[in-house]
Structure 1
Amino acid sequence: MDAGELKAADVQVEIATDLETAVRATPGVRSVYRSGSLISNLLRAGAAALGGRPEDEPLVSVAPVGDGVAVEASIGVDSAAGSGDTLRAVHAAIDAVLATQGLRSDSITLTVVHVQPAEAAPAG
């Protein structure tokens, strides 16, 4: 597959879903959030409410750029895992998914939007 084939909405959703699954499965990732500004997220929610876009679309964004793709993901990480290590692991997971699809990354933008403290150990 090349970046040109990614212009079809259903192909973009399929790849974005695969990417989101890989990001969620990465050790240290506690959650995945919708990328973008508050305003773009409000516009997206409004369009979904009007029937423009499904609300259950993947949270990871993927778009064709030149000969490659741009991927954007916002994540919550476990404080015990460390943000830097988790970001490197997520980047590798995204590269692996793209490689299986025959795609090359033009850019991968990862944002840590929440660091969740480790669960308190039960007293005992």
Structure 2
Amino acid sequence: MTEQLELASAIDAVVRATPGVDNIYRSGSLISNLVGAGAAALGVRGADEPLVSVVADDDGVRMEASVGVDSAVGAPATLAAVRNAITALLDERGLHATAITLTVVYVHSREAS
């Protein structure tokens, strides 16, 4: 489990560092996010845990992330860059992705003032 948490943290960092990613949000339904927030508030789950979901097994790695993107970069370009960054990280570790699910949940428009 520690290895999976470390991998999730590394993927979380790579996603956050990708140009065009404005933020990462916890994947899942409103109910599961409320339960997760409650668990963090009670100290059952750390507030600093990665927000990406990662499952590693003998077949490979399945991961899911919900991101906010900067409209100046654009969602398609940002998602392609995120996918490439995740794939590169997994390749460096001798792993391969069986599924990378990326969801845009927010598009931030920075207007000139």
Aligned counterparts of 1:31 and 1:55: Cα–Cα separation in 2: 15
Q: Which residue of structure 1 lines up, in the alignment, with residue 62 of structure 2?
A: 70
Aligned counterparts of 1:13 and 1:42: Cα–Cα separation in 2: 21
How far does the alpha carbon of each residue in 1:2-24 deviate from its partner, in whole angstroms, 9 at most, with x for none? xxxxxx2x211111111111111
Aligned counterparts of 1:45 and 1:34: Cα–Cα separation in 2: 10
Q: CA deviation at 1:42?
A: 1.3
In structure 1, stretches of 5+ residues that fail to align are 1-7
Which segment is superposed worse, 62-71 or 48-57? Answer: 48-57
> What is the total number of aligned residue pairs between the two structures?
113
Which segment is superposed worse, 47-56 or 31-40? Answer: 47-56
How far does the alpha carbon of each residue in 1:39-81 deviate from its partner, in whole angstroms, 9 at most, with x for none? 1111222233343322211011111244111111111111111
| Corresponding position: 1:116 with 2:105 | no
- Extract structure 1 runs of 4+ deviating beyond 3 A: none
SS at match of 2:105: strand
Q: Percent identity over the alignment?
A: 58
TM-score (norm 1): 0.83
| Corresponding position: 1:25 with 2:24 | no
The residue identity in structure 2 corresponding to 1:106 is T
Aligned counterparts of 2:112 and 2:36: Cα–Cα separation in 1: 39
Residues 3-18 of structure 1: matches in 2 within 5 Å? 8=1, 10-18=2-10
SS at match of 1:69: strand
Q: Which residue of structure 1 lines up, in the alignment, with residue 39 of structure 2?
A: 47
Larger Rg: 1
Say if 1:45 and 1:121 are closer, same or farther in 2 by CA, change over 3 A. closer
How far does the alpha carbon of each residue in 1:78-112 deviate from its partner, in whole angstroms, 9 at most, with x for none? 11111111111100011111111211111000000
In structure 2, stretches of 5+ residues that fail to align are none
Aligned-residue RMSD, C-alpha: 1.4
Say if 1:64 and 1:23 are closer, same or farther in 2 by CA, change over 3 A. same
